[in-house]
Amino acid sequence: MRRLEVICVCGFGLGTSLILKMQLDDVFKEAGIDAEVTAFDITGAAGMDADLFFTSAEFHDQLQAGTSSPVIEVHDFLDKQTLRDLAVPAAKKVMEQWQ
């Protein structure tokens, strides 16, 4: 099975995207989903190819305009249950399309 490619995006790729990356690493591991989660800044991420993108409301529209992949808007990067509720179904939906 292929590995899910996930990109977390914030303004500079050093703050909230790293927090989100660490949280999503845990969420995907707990759910048994093989995912490579990477943190990027908005400028670098805009041209990246990934299965899923996660970002704040601030960058959602800009990121969505530059990709055909799903962009998930996250409001609380520290609420693991909410991240689980957003990330796991989105990941499963993407992986269903691989079959």
Is residue 99 situated within a structural domain? Answer: no
Domain residues for 76?
4-94
Q: How far apart are CA 45 and CA 38, in angstroms?
A: 10
* pLDDT at res. 70: 96
* pLDDT at res. 13: 73
* pLDDT at res. 82: 95
Structural domain total, the chain: 1
Is residue 85 situated within a structural domain? Answer: yes
* pLDDT at res. 17: 94
Strand order, beta sheet including 71-73: 35-41, 4-10, 52-55, 71-73
Q: What is the pTM of this model?
A: 0.94
Mean pLDDT by 10 residues, the chain (99 residues): 93 88 97 97 89 95 92 94 97 94
CATH number of the domain that residue 66 is part of: 3.40.50.2300
Which of left, alpha, beta for 93 (phi over 0: left; psi -120 to 50: alpha)?
alpha
